[in-house]
């Protein structure tokens, strides 16, 4: 769900080794906007992100915990490793390895492994960072208890950005993913998911803001033919 910290920290690592982590709390407005299609959507999401760098590249992971009045609805994680193989003053190329998966009340999310290349870049003062990733994506089979979805081969194209403005008082960041979906979830269709975030940085450690999840062919909707959704949040972030 949240990827921008990875590339902000990755670009800073070109100058100095870093470790970065944060916790975000999002109040989700989706079920109020779409009470029929998304009546069972989470009330809140807690996100923990961590980045660490070494001489070979970097590690990054995040965990999303979706909450409702009865507790935890599900947990989703993405773990990635990058190995740098070419670097200039303002950009770098890396091999990108990734695993995505998680658990929900009704079973597990369909897990996937990804491998590909990443191009990461930044401006002179690191106030703006960006990344483009092109990856092969392999979804795995699920058991009937887990949901019963068949595994399949796919692709994913990802873009990530982060920029500070207004004398670093504000941050605009986010990601956009494109991949081919299959099976019960939109057979053979292009899935689009983007989550731009806008933060007002009250202090270097504490920010308030919003995230807007915009998707097409991503949300499993059995009520009508709607496949396009816009789900905003109200959020706070603590940099640790």
Query: CA neighbours within 13 Å on the CB side: how many for 106?
Result: 5
> Quick check: 29 and 231 in contact, CB under 8 A?
yes
pLDDT of residue 1: 52
Query: CA neighbours within 13 Å on the CB side: how many for 81?
Result: 7
pLDDT of residue 6: 46
pLDDT of residue 183: 58
Please give the DSSP secondary-structure letter assigned to residue 167: T
pTM for this model (two decimals): 0.89
| Residues of the chain under the 70 pLDDT cut | 1-18, 183-187
Q: Per residue in 82-95, pLDDT tens?
A: 999 988 888 899 99
What tokens appear for 212 in the block? Answer: 């807007």
| Closest by CA position to 136, among listed 109, 108, 97, 175 | 97
Count of CB atoms situated within 10 Å of the CB of 166: 9
């Amino acid at each position: 769900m949240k990827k921008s910290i990875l590339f902000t920290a990755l670009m800073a690592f070109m100058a100095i080794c870093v470790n970065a982590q944060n916790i975000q709390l999002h109040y989700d407005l989706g079920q109020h906007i779409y009470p029929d299609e998304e009546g069972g959507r989470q009330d809140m999401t807690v996100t923990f992100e961590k980045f660490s760098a070494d001489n070979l590249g970097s590690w990054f992971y995040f965990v999303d915990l979706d909450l409702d009045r009865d507790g935890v609805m599900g947990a989703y994680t993405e773990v990635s490793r990058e190995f740098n193989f070419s670097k200039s003053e303002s950009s770098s190329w890396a091999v990108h390895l990734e695993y995505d998966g998680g658990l929900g009340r009704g079973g597990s999310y369909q897990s996937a492994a990804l491998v590909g290349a990443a191009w990461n870049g930044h401006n002179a003062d690191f106030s703006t960072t960006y990344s483009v990733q092109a990856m092969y994506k392999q979804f795995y089979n699920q058991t009937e208890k887990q949901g019963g979805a068949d595994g399949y081969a796919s692709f994913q194209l990802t873009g990530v950005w982060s920029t500070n403005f207004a004398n670093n008082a504000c941050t605009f960041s986010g990601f956009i993913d494109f991949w081919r979906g299959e099976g019960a979830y939109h057979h053979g269709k292009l899935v689009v998911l983007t989550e731009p975030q806008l933060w007002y940085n009250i202090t270097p450690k504490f920010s308030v803001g919003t995230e807007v999840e915009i998707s097409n062919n991503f949300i499993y909707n059995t009520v009508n033919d709607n496949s396009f959704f816009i789900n905003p949040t109200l959020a706070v972030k603590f940099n640790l």
